[in-house]
Amino acid sequence: MPDFDIIVIGAGPAGSAAATWAAKHGAKVALVDKAMFPRNKLCGGLFTERSRSYYCEIFGRDFDLSRAVTRHDISFWHDGAELATLTDIPPLHLTMRLDLDNTLFEHALTAGASDFSGRHIAQISENEILFKDGTALHAPILIGADGVNSIVAKHLFGASFNTETIGFGLEIEVPESTQNPVEKPLRIDFGAATWGYGWSFPKQNSTTVGVGGLRAPNPDMKAHMRHYLKTLGLDPEAVKFKGHHLPFGDFRPTPGRDNILLAGDAAGLVDPITGEGIAFAMKSGQIAAQSALDALGAGSPKTALRRYQRTLRDMQRNLRIARTLRRIIFAPRWQGAFTRTFRRSGTVRVMYMRLLAGELEYPQLARSVVARLPRYLLNALRR
Ligand SMILES: Cc1cc2nc3c(=O)[nH]c(=O)nc-3n(C[C@H](O)[C@H](O)[C@H](O)COP(=O)(O)OP(=O)(O)OC[C@H]3O[C@@H](n4cnc5c(N)ncnc54)[C@H](O)[C@@H]3O)c2cc1C
């Protein structure tokens, strides 16, 4: 007899969303994480209105904005020169992941998931996970929400991610005494990394500063980070930065196998232009959980992947379009043209902003971009 209906591995945004949704709908859920909560996760902590609306839908309450810094302004830079500052933009919420993830994890336990945090997995098989202490859990469906270094993805596909296409980010937390977040606007620096960007995000007691982009064209991301810190007037030698992989558009077309599903970073569901991952993690966790519930309801756990793929299709399609559009923004040979257009065109700035804020979906953007692009660029995109 299985101990649980669903085992969720990883209790970040994807796993906590999956566990909450499944437990709320009557499933017996085990939520497993190698960390004890609260635990930190390297992240800019930008929580968009898209994240907020998914949060409301999945956790059944509005996000507590008193725990975040909400800004309505942002400045864009390139190579030390300001391109534009926008005010009165849609709200951008800046959170601390230590706090956010702990809240999500608590919601999952309140919904009825069983707590297996601080437990280390030795082995995964079709319906079982074996902990290093020799105990085991059984369930007809497993959901791998264990982040970019997913051991569930490794179990299924031999590797957690593709080293050629993966992204990578470096970050530091600058204490408030060094940089006053009230005075500093939210800031994005195009070109701070190749095929990527830099960011400076004000928080309640600090500022999160980072650079990130595709890993392959940035063999020395630390040099980009040092340069970026100097641009911001910070001493790169005085701080130790941390790094983390980011599946920056590196999503898996087949996110699982039969009764084992992958959600969030484990499935590579991160926006290839903005780097947003929290919203897609929560949403894919919810969809994975619903697919698992439907498969269990039909008495056919192995149909879970087929059901999941069907409902995940729209999200994957959006990310595929974004991966194509990314070339216009980040490809070094077009970067000059992009930044010139960005500086001149209010329409482009507003579109980028709405994208960042989670207001605009890629199919809409693609239609508008395609209508404006010269033919030679269109042909290059198709290649
Ligand atoms: C530098 C950087 C900046 C970013 N900034 C932003 C941002 O500002 N806004 C945004 O929306 N997104 C941002 N992202 C992306 C975002 O952090 C991720 O997309 C998001 O955290 C994915 O959530 P997840 O639940 O899939 O994975 P995670 O948040 O990584 O959670 C995975 C969980 O699985 C657990 N786990 C891992 N391995 C195991 C194991 N073997 N056994 C059991 N448990 C395990 C971990 O402890 C963790 O709790 C950023 C990413 C990086 C790297």
Residues with CB under 6 A from ligand 1: 9-15, 32-35, 41-46, 121, 145-147, 151, 169, 171, 210, 212, 244, 246, 264-266, 270, 275-278, 281
Listing from the earlier edge strand, what are the strands of the sheet with 196-202?
81-86, 74-78, 186-190, 196-202, 206-214, 167-175, 242-246
> How does residue 362 score in pLDDT terms, banded at 50, 70 and 90?
confident
Ligand 1, from 246, 273, 312: best to mutate by most atoms within 8 Å of Cβ? 246
More confident residue, 16 or 79: 16
* Same domain (yes/no): 51, 112: yes
* Same domain (yes/no): 288, 376: no
User: For residue 211, what are its two tokens?
Assistant: 């650079």
* Same domain (yes/no): 332, 300: no
Q: How far is the CA of 152 from the centre of ligand 1 (A)?
A: 15
* Same domain (yes/no): 340, 280: no
Q: What span, in angstroms and rounded, lies between the C-alpha atoms of 342 and 189? A: 12
| Residue 277 reports pLDDT greater than 80 | yes
Q: Does 309 fall in a domain?
A: yes
Q: Does 142 fall in a domain?
A: yes
Render pLDDT for 200-255 as a digit per residue (tens, 0 to 9): 999 988 999 999 999 999 999 999 999 999 999 999 998 899 999 999 989 999 99
Q: How far is the CA of 328 from the centre of ligand 1 (A)?
A: 27
> How does residue 379 score in pLDDT terms, banded at 50, 70 and 90?
low
| Residue 369 reports pLDDT greater than 90 | no
Q: Which residue, by CA, sits nearest to atom 50 of ligand 1? A: 43
* Same domain (yes/no): 109, 156: yes
What is the rounded average pLDDT of the residues 35-48? 97
Provide the domain limits for residue 303: 6-66+95-162+251-319
* Same domain (yes/no): 255, 330: no
* Same domain (yes/no): 114, 47: yes
* Same domain (yes/no): 371, 314: no
Render pLDDT for 140-199 as a digit per residue (tens, 0 to 9): 999 999 999 999 999 999 999 999 999 999 999 998 765 554 556 799 999 999 999 999
* Same domain (yes/no): 306, 353: no
Render pLDDT for 288-318 as a digit per residue (tens, 0 to 9): 999 999 999 999 999 999 999 999 999 999 9
End-of-domain residue from the set 319, 335, 366: 319
Number of domains present in the structure of the chain: 2
> How does residue 382 score in pLDDT terms, banded at 50, 70 and 90?
low
* Same domain (yes/no): 305, 329: no
Q: Does 293 fall in a domain?
A: yes
User: Which alpha helices (DSSP H) does 257-303 contain, by range?
Assistant: 278-297
| Residue 378 reports pLDDT greater than 80 | no
Q: How far is the CA of 377 from the centre of ligand 1 (A)?
A: 35
**Ligand 1 atom at shortest distance from the alpha carbon of 168:** 53
| Residue 59 reports pLDDT greater than 90 | yes
Q: Does 24 fall in a domain?
A: yes
Q: How far is the CA of 179 from the centre of ligand 1 (A)?
A: 26
* Same domain (yes/no): 279, 311: yes
* Same domain (yes/no): 36, 117: yes
Share of the chain above pLDDT 90, in %: 75
| Residue 324 reports pLDDT greater than 80 | yes
Q: What span, in angstroms and rounded, lies between the C-alpha atoms of 184 and 267? A: 35
Q: What is the CATH number of the domain that holds 265?
A: 3.50.50.60
| Residue 368 reports pLDDT greater than 80 | no
